[in-house]
Structure 1
Amino acid sequence: MSDNKANSGGLITEGQPAPDFSLPAFPEGVISLSDFHAKQNVVLYFYPRDNTPGCTTEACEFRDNIARLQSAGTAVLGVSTDNVASHQKFAEKFQLPFPLLADENHEVAEQFGVWVEKNMYGRKSMGVQRATFLIDREGTVVKVWPKVSVKGHVDEVAAAVEALA
């Protein structure tokens, strides 16, 4: 469940306050973005679907760099429209050490401007655009990576996180 109305203005931009939300998650139960305020920075990454090639690569790269991110005082949260049961299977299969949040009604994806029309092989549908947001301890979006290309992405995120520390 989200606390703000959908973002009709497109992608959230740097310098804006991150919309607060609460979503079911594996393994934590329910996670709110405000749980991290004044405690940790947050890497909030949106991905299209559990167990697909690009999403698996991205999740595993965050997994492999989790110590680097955590040592800089930063939590990682993955968000997709998959349900908690799907997240549990995905997280267990790939030993993901960070929460996966279930945005089944795509409300949070809409708030952050990543619920978009996609065109694949001439077929249009709505879905999550892969994007990452770095949110500081005050709840401000300090860096946005729109339309993420997976290769090298986590290194870019880690460098930005380390610059915040």
Structure 2
Amino acid sequence: MSLKIGDSIPDLELKDQNGKIFNFSSLNGVQPFVVYFYPRDFTPGCTKQACSFRDQYEEFRELGAEVIGISSDSEDSHARFVKKYDLPFIILSDEDQKARELFGVKPNLLGMVPGRETFIFDLQGMLKYRFNSMNAKRHIPEALTALENIK
């Protein structure tokens, strides 16, 4: 399965960095949101990407959107990652790869590295844009532009 433009967010629950259950459907009808998948906590590219989302988080909030990061790292790893880099958004643990499968995020580099992909959903939870690139820096401007276009 792979999400296509116009598809609704999958009905999925994952645990956040605090061990609390997060359900994507809780955002439907509330606000647009950005879901970004990244390979691993504390790696150079992933740290740069998370910190870039952090540094521009207010721009996302001004557009009415929430940011949600997902990797297969544990909740404990996410808690340390969030604390060390003062990340203001939700980071979800996908240890069993269920979210990657439902979203259709494919591995990169001959299947050795989990994929890096960003999804933009509108107020109703409908996928409006998806962007796939291992270049961590490109995801933030792509996401902001896509949010501006769906307003």
TM-score class, shorter-chain normalisation, is over 0.9
Residue 149 in structure 1 maps to residue 135 in structure 2: yes
Q: State the structure with more CA Rg.
A: 1
Identity %: 34
1:33 matched residue in structure 2: 24
Q: Contact (CA 8 Å) 1:76, 1:99: kept in 2 or not?
A: yes
Structure 1 residue 14: Cα displacement: 1.3
Q: Contact (CA 8 Å) 1:49, 1:82: kept in 2 or not?
A: yes
Cα distance in 2 for residues equivalent to 1:147 and 1:153: 8
Q: Please tell me the residue identity of whatever aligns with 2:63.
A: A
Q: Secondary structure at the match of 1:128?
A: coil
2:68 matched residue in structure 1: 77
Give TM-score scaled by structure 1 length. 0.85
Q: Contact (CA 8 Å) 2:60, 2:66: kept in 1 or not?
A: yes
Structure 1 residue 19: Cα displacement: 1.1
What is the count of residue pairs matched by the alignment? 151
Considering only aligned residues, what root-mean-square deviation do their CA atoms show, in Å? 1.6
Structure 1 residue 13: Cα displacement: 1.9
The C-alpha deviation readout for 1:27-59, integer Å capped at 9, x for no partner, is 471111101000011100000000001100100
Q: Please tell me the residue identity of whatever aligns with 2:84.
A: K
Larger helix percent: 2
Q: Contact (CA 8 Å) 1:45, 1:77: kept in 2 or not?
A: yes
Larger strand percent: 1
2:38 matched residue in structure 1: 47
Give TM-score scaled by structure 2 length. 0.92
Q: Contact (CA 8 Å) 2:9, 2:25: kept in 1 or not?
A: no
Residue 17 in structure 1 maps to residue 8 in structure 2: yes
Residue 116 in structure 1 maps to residue 102 in structure 2: no
In structure 2, stretches of 5+ residues that fail to align are: none
**Which residue, 61, 74, 80 being the options, matches 1:89?**
80
In structure 1, stretches of 5+ residues that fail to align are: 1-6
Q: Secondary structure at the match of 2:107?
A: strand
